[in-house]
Amino acid sequence: MIVIPAIDLIAGKCVRLYQGDFDQQTTYDNDPIDQAREFQSAGFTRLHVVDLEGARTGLGQNRQVIRHLVEAVDLPIQIGGGVRTSQDVLELLEFGVRYLILGTAALTDPERVSRWVERWGPTPFMISLDLKGEGLRSQGWVERSGVELAEALDRIAGWEIPQVICTDVESDGTLKQPNYSTYEKLRAQLPGDITLIAAGGISRPEHVSRLKEMGVDGVVVGRALYEGDRVWEKLIDAG
């Protein structure tokens, strides 16, 4: 299992939200570039970066920070937030971003995603399923998408996109524990050859170990890496 540290960006700063609520934002003094380098030095092997302003508005507000992040570390980086147009895809791939996370675009404009897959192939993309209760969220977790999970899974199968990241919004940023049942059900619904990455509430090595036992292939860890006891190496080892 791969353990992936998260850098969420607002106005070029590292932040964390509580349960996806932009009104419950914690801003950290950590410079994003320095933070990325520290994660690499600690032994993490991939980086998860979200442009939260881009996720909410559709406009990439932190592109230059993202470009500098890619240049600063020798890690594959997955980027989410504001990937809505072909120009967004082209620009980020030219920066050297390895994986582009599609959330709102996958839910609201599947035909566009189909064109992207036809042009660039499925490998550069990941699909984000942001769950709150039984519903899928879009626009930075703010809006109900109106798309049923079963429909979203059918689209993923059609695109042959090999990676899915699922965030349980109500667990995200809480430091409590992941919603294990969400990931257990999703793992059972996804083909075995699709990589499933879990996010939301993952803060302790035992959380990582249990998700690994359930067949989850990776986890994203955020707030736990910025606050409290430093358990970075233990999290990596649990994977």
Residue 25, judged by CB atoms within 10 A of its CB (0-12, 13-18, 19+), counts as middle
What is the DSSP code (8-state) at residue 210? H
Closest to 109 (Cα-Cα) out of 142, 138, 66, 132: 138
CA distance between the termini of the chain: 5
Q: By CB neighbour count within 10 A (0-12 exposed, 13-18 middle, 19+ buried), where does 138 fall?
A: buried
Burial of residue 76, with CB atoms counted within 10 A of its CB: 0-12 exposed, 13-18 middle, 19 or more buried: middle
The secondary structure of 39-59, three-state, reads: HHHHCCCCEEEEEHHHHHHCC
- Residue 8 bears catalytic tag: yes
Q: Is 130 a catalytic residue?
A: yes
- β-pairing, 47-51 vs 77-80, is parallel
* Catalytic annotation, pick one of 51, 88, 130, 168: 130
Q: Which two tokens stand for residue 230?
A: 């430093």
The H-assigned helical ranges of 59-193 are 63-72, 86-95, 104-108, 110-120, 149-159, 180-189
| Rounded Cα distance, 207 and 228, in Å | 16
Q: Catalytic amino acids?
A: 8, 130
